[in-house]
Amino acid sequence: MGPMSTSSLDPAVAARLKRSADGLVPAIAQQYDTGEVLMLGWMDDEALHRTLTTGRCTYWSRSRQEYWVKGDTSGHYQHVKSVALDCDADTVLVKVDQVGAACHTGARTCFDADVLLSDAD
């Protein structure tokens, strides 16, 4: 498996999904109750299929070139609550219940540490 290969994703969804040249779409993970944006990962058709059907958010790791069930190593799973495509079908929003820290640094979200601007009016 891997980007651009055959997947079990619902053909109706696959038909409207607009992938980048590398066969991937960005996937935003958001904590379902607090609204925190936790991280952004990448999905191919099969990662989206697994996210929709296994209840655990699954990405395609561009660095490792393999599927990556968030939490399989760290225990910090993302339990899937809802999944939506955007109006162009080129981005996925997954609302999840994040176990522990979303970021590999131990921070709650991947956007906590490198703030460029805050409290602008």
Q: Which residues are annotated as a binding site for Zn(2+)?
A: 87, 103, 110
Task: Check binding of 35 to its own copies (CB under 8 A).
Answer: yes
Exactly one of 37, 76, 99, 108 binds its own copies (CB under 8 A); that residue is 37
Nearest distance from C-beta of residue 99 to its own copies, angstroms: 15
- Please provide residue 79's backbone torsions phi and psi, each rounded to the nearest 5 degrees: -80, 125
Tokens 């799973």 belong to 77
Enumerate residues 6+ apart whose C-beta is below 8 A from 15: none
DSSP state of 8: -
Applying CB under 8 A, the residues found at the interface with its own copies are 13, 16, 20, 26, 28, 30, 34-37, 39-40, 52, 55, 80-89, 91, 93, 103-105, 107, 110-121
